[in-house]
Structure 1
Amino acid sequence: MNLTKLRYLAVAATFALAGPTSAQEWKPSQPVTVIVPWAAGGSTDTVTRVVAGELSKAFGQNFVILNQPGASGSVGTRAVWEAPHDGMTMAAGAVADLGAYPVFGTLDATLEDWRLYIHVANPGLVSVPVNSEWQDFGQLLEALKTSETPITVSSGGLSSATAISMQTLEKAADINYRQIVYEGGNPAVISTVSGETQFTAATATEQVDMIRAGRLRPLAVIADQPLELEGFGTVPPVTKWLPEVKSAPNYFGIYVPADAPKEVLDAMDKVWAEQIKDNEVLKKHAAERGALFNALYGDEAVAAATPYLSINAWQQFDTGAAPNDPSQFGIPKPE
């Protein structure tokens, strides 16, 4: 065998060993920043820290959480959008917020401008302090219908789970309430525990510790099926009292600008499919926190998350809370 042929075979062997270009060849050279646009301790912050730990293992580089709350989540998300689109700065939060920012006019980037990597859906939960006079949702609903003074509900902001849940209830019943806004779900829940507000409709994830500690009493889940909470039991669906209430899964995730380098998106796709989709750590976390684990990315993620985004965006527009027509941004009207 001549020298030229030997060299050819050596080169061919090298390529064969290397195989096709691997998505995981993208290795961040420094820690990746994941901006959580809400206060520490809330539903977004809690689950994103778990996801960041799993991504750190997958990529061999730290994924670091930075809390940057403000303007119902748009401040932190804007910081990601204005940073270089190189994969080194990612956003976290609910798709219902991410896609609705253009409707509010707080950020021009539409849902199509992001690559979605979702992991859990968090239902809203109506709860009261354990010493509240209201023993079930029917009693609270009657008070909301008949009270001459607004009943106070703690909220994380205009597009928070509480705001969306309350607007959903308001469409189904004539109720009198007032939102008291805090910088995220965790401080909102604490305000209800302390008696500063009369009830909360934050996510189950944000409330579960206080429920297990006997500080909050859950009355209803904003869904058409009951919620099983480990360490507590069954929470009935709000449709038991308001059958016409429509709901959808409220998905949370991590988001990368869609024009980031292809190798970054390919690497995230691969990790999501192979190491996040059936991740036991995340499954356990979801079960403990009253969340639904369903890790999807790309078009599948968009399809799964759009129904709740539609509910949020159109409710905000129809009530006058948001000035821009959601159809301008490709957000379908809820059926």
Structure 2
Amino acid sequence: MNRRHLLGLAAALPALPHPARAQERFPTHPVRVIIPFAAGGSTDIMARLCAQMLTDRLGQPAVPENITGAGGMIGAQRVLDAPADGHTLLAGTPGPVTINPHLAPRMPYHPLRDFEAVVFVGDSPAVAVVRRDSPIRSVQDIVARAKAEPGKLTFASAGIGSFAHLSGELFKARAQVDMVHVPYRGTAPAVTDMLAGHVDTMFENYPSVQSYIASGELRPLAIGSARRSPLVPNLPTMIEEGVPNYDSSSWFGLFLRAGTPAGAIDAVNRAINEGLRDQATIARLTTMGVEPIGGSPADFKAYVTRRFEETGALIRTAGITAG
């Protein structure tokens, strides 16, 4: 076949998209960041910060949108109802991704099957706290008292199946103690009752009690991460305090619907990773009590999968039910 025939054949063939051009077409219109919780909370603040990172780097505005209800599941479903083109993101947290699926077996989606993990944005460790005038001075005191009088010490949470509830159940399992869970309708009433002396302790994520710690109303005993946190480097870990294999943290990340093109996933991942290297962003997250993480989609998927399995095992062992 001569050169003229080759040119004629090439002209007759349909143009094939170039991989680089396919990536350049994302985004083609504004991106939505679905926040499955109410405005004003830590998830909302984190999601809006991510929306700004995306707006600054993708060439299209990223618009945060609060869609609440059913512990975050309604917002998550809204992402699945949107086209798998990368333009509708889920601001994900443990609740709708790694906790609720084990408490609501009939939920309409499976997070590991129906979502693509895009980027691990930040992590906030659990922290054991007591009121400032509590006679409990350390984690060892909690363990000693709980073993001396099983079922007498109480720990508060923001509700059944909440992060603070599971962090407390993990403490019971790892320390091998018997404590009574007292659920509330949110963190604020739980802290109020603890300050009044009605409950003994709480295992809440650090940002939720950071202001109470700063004011001196609550006294931190230990951090729940596997290693000391740069957020509070002088605070020992639960493991250092004698609670083996204790690791509880409330993570935040972005997800897309499964089947989203790799180019869109990579573009969002790259934009957030660039944003997390910005010193002003790092400072803001640290002030909020969040440790910036970043990394690849594969890194985040592996992390979420591990947390999903660990959370399911804890819920089954502790016999936690939604009703």
Query: What TM-score results when the alignment is normalised by the length of structure 2?
Result: 0.77
In 2 relative to 1, CA 148–159 (structure 1 residues): closer, same or farther, beyond 3 Å?
Answer: closer
2:120 aligned residue: 118
Q: Distance in 2 between matches of 1:191 and 1:53?
A: 37
Q: Does 1:179 align with 2:178?
A: no
Aligned identity (percent) is 19
For residues 61-81 of structure 1, give each alpha carbon's deviation from its aligned partner in whole angstroms, at most 9, with x where no partner exists: 14214151433x334323333
Q: What stretches of structure 1 of length at least 5 have no aligned partner?
A: 1-17, 324-335
Secondary structure in 2 matching 1:174: coil
Instruction: Give 5+ residue unaligned stretches, structure 2.
Output: 1-17
1:201 counterpart residue number: 203
Return the letter of the residue paired with 2:23.
Answer: A
| Separation (CA, whole Å) in 2 of partners of 1:206 and 1:24 | 40
Q: 2:216 aligns with which of 214, 223, 235?
A: 214
Q: Aligned ranges for residues 247-286 of structure 1 at < 5 Å?
A: 247=247, 250-261=250-261, 264-273=264-273, 275-286=274-285
Secondary structure at 2:211 match in 1: helix
Contact 1:35–1:80 (CA<8 Å) still a contact in 2?
no
Which AA in structure 2 matches 1:81? L
Contact persistence 2:155–2:179 (CA under 8 A):
no
Preserved CA contact (<8 Å) 2:231 2:290: no
The answer as to 2:71 corresponding to 1:68 is: no
Which residue identity is paired with 1:259?
Answer: G
Q: Is the 8 A contact 1:101 1:108 kept in 2?
A: no
Tell me what 1:133 maps to.
Answer: 135
> Structure 1 residues 60-69 or 185-194, which shifts more?
185-194
Q: TM-score, normalised by structure 1?
A: 0.75
Residue by residue, what CA displacement relative to the aligned partner does 1:278-321 show, whole Å, maximum 9, x if unpaired?
A: 23333223332343321124212112343333321211123333
Residue 244 of structure 1: SS of its match in structure 2? coil
Q: Distance in 2 between matches of 1:296 and 1:192?
A: 38
Decide whether the 8 Å contact of 2:23 with 2:263 is kept in 1: yes
Question: How far apart are 1:157 and its partner, in Å?
Answer: 4.0
Structure 1 stretch displaced more, 294-303 or 187-196: 187-196
Aligned residue number for residue 6 of structure 1: none
What residue identity is the alignment partner of 1:175? D
Q: 1:303 to 1:263 in 2, by over 3 A?
A: closer
Look up the match of 2:35. 35
Shift of the 159–57 alpha-carbon distance from structure 1 to 2, 3 Å rule, reads: farther
- Give the number of aligned pairs: 300
1:55–1:74 CA distance, 2 compared to 1 (3 A): same
8 Å CA contact 1:114, 1:257 repeated in 2: yes
The CA distance in 1 between the partners of 2:19 and 2:227, in whole Å, is 48
User: Mapping of 1:209-248 within 5 angstroms?
Assistant: 209-229=211-231, 234-247=234-247
Residues 163 and 24 (structure 1), Cα distance of their counterparts in 2 relative to 1, 3 Å cut: farther
Deviations 1:103-122 (A, max 9, x none): 33134323132122211121
Partner Cα separation in structure 1 for residue 309 and residue 27 of structure 2: 36
In the alignment, the residues of structure 2 paired with residue 24 and residue 52 of structure 1 have an alpha-carbon distance, to the nearest angstrom, of 19
Moved more, 205-214 or 132-141: 132-141
Please give the alpha-carbon distance, in whole angstroms, between the structure 1 residues aligned to 2:224 and 2:177.
17
Q: Give the root-mean-square deviation of aligned CA atoms.
A: 3.3
- Does 2:81 correspond to 1:78? no
